[in-house]
Amino acid sequence: METTDIARRLHDVKDGLPQGVQLVAVSKFHPADYIMAAYNAGQHIFGESREQELAKKVEALPKDIEWHFIGHLQTNKVKYIAPYISMIDAVDSMKLLREINKQAANHNRTIKVLLELHIAEEETKYGLSLDACRQLLEEGEWRNLTNVKICGLMMMASHIDDEQLIRSEFELAANFFDEVKARYFANDPSFCERSWGMSHDYKIAVQCQSTMVRVGTYIFGERVY
């Protein structure tokens, strides 16, 4: 991928987003100069999914980048990213939430998080079922965690080429957001994010109330693992 292509594709995505929808440019597995190409084209929010790769990039890249941790995060890795991470997008257990709170407190920070829902048809051990999410919120321990801020929900739709199914999953997530917002966060304006939509489905996601799309491949090309 040429860096001029990155700038062009970035603007292609950004220009198509409704007002108020944020773009997380997913730069995992891509080199720092790709990130700089997007940065110089005006993008300041990037998503990474591996702690060590992220640490190197944080060191090498401009300090005003907002980094999102978008993948599965092991509890024992939280301490490494706690000093600088802006948002942890995929929290799916009380144990992880507690650890984020503890490490954030160690650094005198508040870390923003999203709760990850598992709605897609694929089998995965990650993400909360709707019932598990309701239960976590009902139990209420999260209210005592003063160094984490739950800012909304995140999910991935099924990874198949079926627009109707994808749309129905986003709509389910949007309805669930409204339920949870009304029941637990009615007086909390910072609970406002609905993070859904990736390269292949972000256009559907923004029709289903997404406020935060996470787009990698479309901007940076295929990842080389």
In the complex, the smallest distance separating the C-beta of residue 90 from ligand PLP, rounded to whole angstroms, is: 6
> According to CB under 6 A, which residues from 100 to 159 bind ligand PLP?
156
Interface segment toward ligand PLP; rule CB under 6 A; list 33-41, 124-132, 183-191, 208-216: 208-216
In the complex, the smallest distance separating the C-beta of residue 183 from ligand PLP, rounded to whole angstroms, is: 26
In the complex, the smallest distance separating the C-beta of residue 201 from ligand PLP, rounded to whole angstroms, is: 9
State both tokens at 24.
Answer: 């997380």
Q: Residues 3, 11, 71, 110: which binds ligand PLP (CB under 6 A)?
A: 71
Q: Residues 70, 119, 155, 205: which binds ligand PLP (CB under 6 A)?
A: 70
In angstroms, the Cα distances linking 24 to 93, 120, 165, 223 are 23, 21, 24, 16
- Between 106 and 129, name the residue whose CB sits nearer to ligand PLP: 129
State both tokens at 36.
Answer: 């700089």
Q: Residues 22, 86, 158, 199: which binds ligand PLP (CB under 6 A)?
A: 199
- The number of C-alpha atoms within 13 Å of 156 and in the hemisphere containing its C-beta is 19
- Between 29 and 184, name the residue whose CB sits nearer to ligand PLP: 29
Residues 15-44 as x/- pattern, contact with ligand PLP by CB under 6 A: -----------x-x----------------
Interface segment toward ligand PLP; rule CB under 6 A; list 34-42, 117-125, 172-180, 209-217: 209-217
| 198 contacts ligand PLP (rule: CB under 6 A) | yes
Chain residues binding ligand PLP by CB under 6 A are 26, 28, 49, 70-71, 156, 198-199, 214-218
